[in-house]
DNA sequence: GTTTCCTAGA
């Protein structure tokens, strides 16, 4: 029977085939090809199964299609069966299409050992099979081996790198965050005349963008004659990651003017820019655009929307988007749960997590667990912490170093340093983060000696190097315990021995350290010698020190500078106001208070949480909640003037249900 | 008639 139909879609194909009684091998292959083109992977495997049951023997056109489906569905068992079938028939042995499809299937299923064995069994690998291996290493978290494999391939005399293998190589350079290597490949690309290949240039652009070669990325983008939506999106993401949200917006509008249609990835980057800038208005506009372009319902876009609204301090809008989502994945839940905690609503995070387990049946992954442990840590709810701890063990997350560090932090925040150090001791491979968590734990509980002891153990006998965060923790532990000399010694150690560059936070702690013991002049000397101008945080710390040591003159100078820099932080106004209050300068207090009111500055809500009989009770301290209350400064004469105490002067209790 | 590649939540 002469039979030939060009199918417009797989639906037509199945209709036609449904009516036929006996199919030829060619017809089977046409059907499978058509289904695979429409990414109907389940159907591909179903029909493949049917084909085998009909005793039609798959050939070297059928096998790659079926293997591709196995890879996409991560059906390694099915894939292995096909591999067994292939092995039995010698005619497949030398077929490179079959070979590369087998490698692809193992790669997709994360089985690099099997992929490598399959590759080694090939008589004469070609460019595609070599590239599949390079790609496999790159995709499965071994970018170094990917580069190594590429090198082996380039040395084999019979294959010559093409555009696809170069794109894969550049991806590996990106994962290694190695722009120098990227630059070498870039040179090779130019010499080989590939410089007009858009995908290849895009991958180079992305490599520069992701490996801290900001200038190179921007230059390359400017030089590009042809740009597509990927080029634009990559460069927008690059600006966002380098903290230049406004530039990102600028490039985005340029892209729109240019007539390039944004896609889901573009929206992700723009929404990230809105989130980074906490720009709710821009975020809402972008949301509207996403709806107009029909991109709102894509899981990643709606997840980015949830994240954006959360970071723009609008948890209600975030939740509205979340509840409308037709499909949710773990990442969406991460955005929701971490978002609530970000907005000071950690109890909602825990509620949503339990909701997820009960109703959504989404399996948590390690990242989500880190977030949940973080939420619990905000609540300081020990009972709940112990529950999550057993959950972590039960679901096999215990070996993850991020989880280990989070548990250590969680127990210390709950005040259970014993449990924290037990967890710490049980972690087999302790990395910098894990060590730092324990040091931080001791630090926040004022156990400076233990923090120091742990720090010393880390630097002398662990083989793990402290990083900037570790130093920040140990410095602040010293500061809180008044270990001045030790703190200064550690600061020197950081700069001289470890060659780490202190940032503004390190300097703030150093200023705090000196300020606490009244070494105000030394603190000012440090500030003067810093390689950058003082941040509001540093000045705020100095102002706090001035208040403790009642140095009004210096306080006024500092405060003036501070208010120029950051006029929206109520805390500093309170500090200054308290200083005036102490000296009875009520006129100045009044003046300051009025300027606060005029600028619409609101003091943040202070909260305390305590655990009583397995329930967490929430205390919100906020005098703004009582409009008829007398002005706070009226009370100052009688009250002790600690700002902390002031913030805790009015309580409003609300109960947080334990889970 | 088939196989490998460029943007994306710690």
Per residue in A397-420, pLDDT (tens digit) is 887 888 888 999 899 888 888 889
Residue A322: count of CB within 10 angstroms of its CB: 22
Query: Following CA atoms A420, A422, A428, A431 in sequence, which dihedral angle do they give, to the nearest 10 degrees?
Result: 20
Q: Which residue is nearest to nucleotide B1 (CA to C1')?
A: A61
For residue A264, the model assigns a pLDDT of 92
CA angle (A59 as vertex; A57, A64 as ends), nearest 5: 125
For residue A635, the model assigns a pLDDT of 23
Chain A, 229-248: which CBs lie within 7 Å of strand B? 229-230, 233-234, 237
Nearest-angstrom CA–CA distance, A252 and A225? 18
Same topology, domains A1-124 and A328-429? Answer is: yes
C1' nearest to CA of A29: which nucleotide? B1
Our measurement of CA A637 to C1' B7, in angstroms, reads: 60
b/e per residue A257-296 (b: at least 16 CB within 10 A) = eeebebbbbbbbbbbbbbbbbebbebbbebbebbeeeebb
Nearest-angstrom CA–CA distance, A202 and A238? 12
For residue A616, the model assigns a pLDDT of 47
* The domain made up of A1-124 is a member of CATH 1.10.10: no
Our measurement of CA A10 to C1' B10, in angstroms, reads: 40
Our measurement of CA A125 to C1' B4, in angstroms, reads: 12
Per residue in A415-446, pLDDT (tens digit) is 888 889 888 888 888 888 889 989 988 888 88
Write the DSSP string, A544-589: HHHHHTT-HHHHHHHHHHHHHH-TT-HHHHHHHHHHHHHTT-HHHH
Whether nucleic acid strand B comes within 7 Å of the CB of A182, the answer is no
Per residue in A348-370, pLDDT (tens digit) is 999 999 889 888 778 888 899 99
Which CATH class for the A328-429 domain? mainly alpha
Domain coordinates of chain A in residue numbers?
Answer: 1-124, 328-429, 567-656
Our measurement of CA A646 to C1' B5, in angstroms, reads: 61
Nearest-angstrom CA–CA distance, A318 and A432? 34
Give chain B positions with protein CB within 7 A. Answer: 1-10
Per residue in A166-217, pLDDT (tens digit) is 999 999 999 998 888 899 999 989 888 888 899 999 999 999 999 989 999 9
Confidence band for A569, pLDDT divided at 50, 70 and 90: low
For residue A619, the model assigns a pLDDT of 45
Please list the residues that pair with A620 across neighbouring strands.
A607, A652
Whether nucleic acid strand B comes within 7 Å of the CB of A289, the answer is no
Q: Which residue is nearest to nucleotide B3 (CA to C1')?
A: A97
For a pLDDT cut of 70, what percent of chain A falls above it? 86
């Amino acid at each position: 029977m002469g039979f030939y139909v060009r199918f417009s879609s797989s639906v037509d194909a199945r209709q036609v085939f449904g009516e036929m009684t006996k199919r030829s091998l060619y017809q089977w292959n046409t059907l499978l090809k058509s289904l695979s083109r429409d990414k109907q992977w389940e159907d591909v495997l179903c029909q493949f199964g049917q084909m085998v049951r009909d005793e039609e023997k798959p050939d070297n056109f059928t096998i790659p299609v079926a293997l591709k489906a196995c890879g996409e569905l991560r059906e390694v068992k099915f894939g292995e069966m096909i591999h067994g079938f292939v092995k039995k028939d010698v005619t497949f042995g030398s077929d490179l299409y079959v070979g590369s499809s087998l490698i692809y299937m193992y790669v997709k299923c994360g089985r690099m050992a099997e992929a490598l064995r399959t590759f080694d069994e090939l008589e004469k690998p070609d460019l595609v099979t070599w590239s599949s291996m390079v790609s496999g290493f790159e995709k499965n978290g071994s970018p170094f081996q990917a580069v190594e494999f590429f090198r082996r391939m380039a040395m084999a005399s019979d294959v010559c790198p093409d555009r696809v293998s170069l794109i894969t190589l550049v991806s590996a350079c990106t994962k290694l965050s190695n722009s120098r290597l990227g630059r070498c490949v870039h040179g090779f690309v130019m010499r080989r005349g590939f410089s007009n290949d858009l995908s290849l240039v895009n991958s180079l652009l992305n490599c520069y963008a992701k490996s801290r070669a900001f200038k190179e990325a921007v230059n390359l983008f400017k030089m590009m004659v042809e740009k597509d939506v990927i080029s634009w999106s990559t460069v927008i993401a690059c600006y966002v990651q380098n903290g230049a949200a406004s530039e990102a917006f600028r490039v985005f509008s340029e892209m729109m003017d240019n007539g390039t249609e944004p896609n889901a990835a573009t929206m992700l980057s723009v929404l990230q820019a809105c989130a980074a800038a906490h720009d709710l208005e821009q975020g809402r506009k972008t949301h509207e655009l996403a709806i107009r372009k029909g991109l709102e319902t894509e899981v990643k876009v709606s997840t980015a929307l949830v994240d954006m609204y959360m970071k723009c301090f609008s948890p209600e809008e975030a939740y509205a988007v979340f509840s409308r989502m037709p499909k949710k994945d773990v990442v969406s839940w991460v955005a929701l749960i971490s978002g609530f905690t970000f907005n000071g609503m950690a109890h909602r995070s825990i509620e949503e997590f339990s909701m997820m387990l009960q109703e959504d049946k989404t399996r948590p992954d390690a990242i989500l667990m880190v977030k949940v442990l973080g939420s619990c840590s905000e609540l300081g709810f020990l009972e709940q912490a112990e529950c999550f701890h057993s959950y972590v063990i039960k679901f096999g997350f215990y070996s993850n170093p991020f989880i280990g560090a989070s548990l250590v932090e969680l127990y210390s925040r709950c005040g259970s340093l014993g449990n924290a150090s037990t967890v710490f001791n049980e972690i087999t491979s302790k990395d910098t983060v894990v060590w730092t968590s324990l040091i931080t734990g001791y630090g926040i509980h004022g156990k400076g000696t233990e923090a120091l002891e742990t720090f010393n153990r880390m630097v002398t006998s662990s083989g793990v190097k402290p990083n900037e965060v570790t130093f920040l923790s140990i410095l602040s532990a010293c500061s809180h315990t008044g270990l001045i000399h030790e703190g200064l010694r550690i600061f020197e150690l950081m700069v001289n021995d470890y060659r780490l560059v202190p940032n503004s936070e390190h300097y703030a702690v150093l200023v705090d350290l000196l300020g606490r013991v009244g070494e105000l002049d030394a603190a000012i000397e440090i500030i003067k010698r810093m390689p950058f101008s003082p941040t509001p945080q540093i000045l705020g710390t100095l102002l706090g020190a001035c208040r403790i040591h009642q140095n009004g003159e210096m306080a006024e100078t500092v405060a003036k500078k501070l208010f120029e820099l950051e006029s929206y932080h109520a805390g500093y106004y309170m500090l200054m106001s308290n200083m005036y209050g102490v000296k009875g300068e009520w006129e100045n207090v009044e003046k300051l208070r009025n300027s606060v009111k005029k600028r619409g500055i609101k003091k943040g809500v202070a909260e305390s949480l305590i655990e009583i009989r397995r329930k967490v009770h929430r205390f919100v301290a906020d005098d703004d909640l009582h409009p008829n209350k007398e002005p706070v400064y009226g009370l100052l004469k009688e009250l002790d003037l600690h700002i902390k105490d002031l913030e805790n002067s009015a309580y409003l209790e609300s109960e947080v249900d334990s889970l």
